[in-house]
Amino acid sequence: GAVVSQHPSWVICKSGTSVKIECRSLDFQATTMFWYRQFPKQSLMLMATSNEGSKATYEQGVEKDKFLINHASLTLSTLTVTSAHPEDSSFYICSAGPGLTSGRAYNEQFFGPGTRLTVL
């Protein structure tokens, strides 16, 4: 399958600071990228869907001004957690796939290894 990387794999930051997480598709063009959050012993919860060159679509309850998503190229999407608080500590996972219009975006996702965020 296709390879998706995330950087950093682990980050600790102070409360009130901003943290940027990168998601890269290494060997294919990812028209659509998804960002998930996973709390301990919980399932993956979709935060937002982004299409290259367009604004991200956020799921209900996810603050778009707090979780800034940029998908400026077909190989890179970034998630910035602004003014992070301890309750934002979680495991953030991205996935990448073909465009939504392909009809395969949701069932052909390739997941990154995740980024563990700890906010002190």
Site for another protein, rule CB under 8 A: 1, 4, 6, 34, 41-44, 46, 49, 59, 91, 93, 103-104, 106-107, 109-114, 116
Query: Which is nearer to another protein, 18 or 55 (by Cβ)?
Result: 55
CA distances from 97 to 10, 63, 94, 101 (A): 24, 24, 10, 11
Residue closer to another protein by CB (options 25, 49) is 49
Closer of 39 and 120 to another protein (Cβ): 39
Residue 114 CB, shortest distance to another protein, in Å, is: 5
> Sign of the CA dihedral 47, 105, 70, 3?
positive
Residue from 79, 32, 68, 27 nearest 53 by CA: 32
CB of 18 to another protein, least distance (A): 23
What is the DSSP pairing of strand 115-119 with strand 10-13? parallel
